[in-house]
Structure 1
């Protein structure tokens, strides 16, 4: 691997101490948090993080943070470009660049044979204050379709509020999607579909298929999981990556951001979530074949 030197010197001892403190204070599972804090401190003492490369440090620390329970939202993220110092701003800046590149999160909308529409949402479910207008336009356009294929194969996460907004177009009435629980086990915010959506709804009765891949993650998984648990959609494709915990980010260095899950989502139907296991497809197949499989299912059902 090519060594990447950060724009400012790495004080790995101080960085690891900050990581340990933040994980111990904020990680959703307190017992695991203490174990992880002890682990990275011990590894630092052993010299495991002795490097001048911010990228190498991020890889080493992330591997250790995920070694206890495999939480894919937990890690030290390297950013090639210097990032803002405000809490949560590092990821937001990177996501904004994606939003501007991928047609505001709606890179594909097409009418296929037999009145079946396909709508791709990705590579993120972008923050709702950015994405509401393009998503409302796209979802209104597909509303008259006889069946809808929602393509999430390249979707790697996003805003739970945007998930709820999209679901609002695919259901007929206001629906409870998830409840958040804090690290103390306290009930937090609930996620519901909005009582009103701008434009036309596709609605809750016409055939709906959701495409997934082994890359589908986080918010993309939530959208697939919520619709599947409600019995609203058939999921077609591959088992997803398995990241269900909402996270926050702390910039610890111009190129390093610590990502820490701060809560856990519980689905009111399953009583659990997709953490560590992924969303299991109703129709398993290679992700490359998922669109053709879903189209075949839709046409057969419409016939």
Structure 2
């Protein structure tokens, strides 16, 4: 338990409301949510002395209007650095160092079907380029490939494009991102050249998903699915298509506010709220075996 020692909930709510109105990608929803938070504060709904409980209550209200899973008041057991996003970055680095750089598993199954697990997230490209190159280059010689995203909780869109570049033959428009700041749109494309060897764009490719697959991991699955490049196997994903920034609003609380939204060039929309819907639906625990069966059948043909 982390208490709000010497601090009332009101300043946390006021700062969170301010961040919403200044940065949230949907300004009209931001106004509704800011008003909701202030009304709930006045009603005494946030009269708690535990930071984790306050985070739970505020997050429920933040997600009550449009169910945006990236919109949260996030509790940290350790004290949050005051710099924007520093808490997330510190935790991310610890995960990177203990997961072989985000590629904890590369395995060759029967029939020369490779499995590359990308978890627990798609780390910033300046960190992840080397381990991803090693993993995907090693898998490039396989006859079919399974990319396991079942426990991947998101990450860097640039890393999504980098990974896709190993799975396609030509430079391809993958996604577009609309940013509230400047009301600008940026396109994301696969790279014309990659370090290492490509698996390429013609051999069988399967992507595994689960209910915890989120954010950038969903983009990786969604981009490849919409291009017709991969068969998605498993469970529907969580449904978060809005990149966000984090701001420290209390020594143990971080407000994460989406500042952009994805627009896929094929579908014209994204996976927000709905998740990525698998082509082959099955329990996440069974997805690897199911994808392996599909790959062997395809190769036999």
> Per the shorter chain, which TM-score range?
over 0.9
CA deviations over 1:274-294 (Å, ceiling 9, x no partner): 000000000000011100110
Report the counterpart of residue 297 of structure 1 in structure 2.
294
Report the counterpart of residue 24 of structure 1 in structure 2.
21
CA deviations over 1:119-150 (Å, ceiling 9, x no partner): 00011000111110000000000000000000
Alignment counterpart, residue 104 of structure 2, candidates 95, 103, 107: 107
Report the counterpart of residue 84 of structure 1 in structure 2.
81
Whether 2:130 is the aligned partner of 1:133: answer yes
Report the counterpart of residue 3 of structure 2 in structure 1.
5
1:184 to partner: Cα distance: 7.6
1:207 to partner: Cα distance: 0.2
1:72 and 1:14 map into 2 onto residues whose CA distance is 23
Whether 2:43 is the aligned partner of 1:46: answer yes
Whether 2:118 is the aligned partner of 1:117: answer no
TM-score (norm 2): 0.97
Unpaired stretches in structure 2, ≥5 consecutive residues: none
Report the counterpart of residue 247 of structure 1 in structure 2.
244
1:42 to partner: Cα distance: 0.5
51-60 or 108-117, larger mean C-alpha shift:
51-60
Does the aligned pair in 2 maintain the 1:4–1:56 contact within 8 Å? no
Alignment counterpart, residue 238 of structure 1, candidates 225, 235, 238: 235
Does the aligned pair in 1 maintain the 2:84–2:247 contact within 8 Å? yes
What is the aligned length? 300
CA deviations over 1:55-103 (Å, ceiling 9, x no partner): 1111111011001110000010000111211111111111111111111
TM-score (norm 1): 0.97
Matches within 5 A, 1:163-242: 163-183=160-180, 186-242=183-239
- What RMSD, in angstroms, separates the aligned Cα atoms of the two structures? 1.2
Aligned residue for 2:111, secondary structure, equals helix
Whether 2:93 is the aligned partner of 1:96: answer yes
132-141 or 80-89, larger mean C-alpha shift:
80-89
Does the aligned pair in 2 maintain the 1:239–1:278 contact within 8 Å? yes
Flag the 1:273–1:185 CA change in 2: closer, same or farther, 3 A.
farther
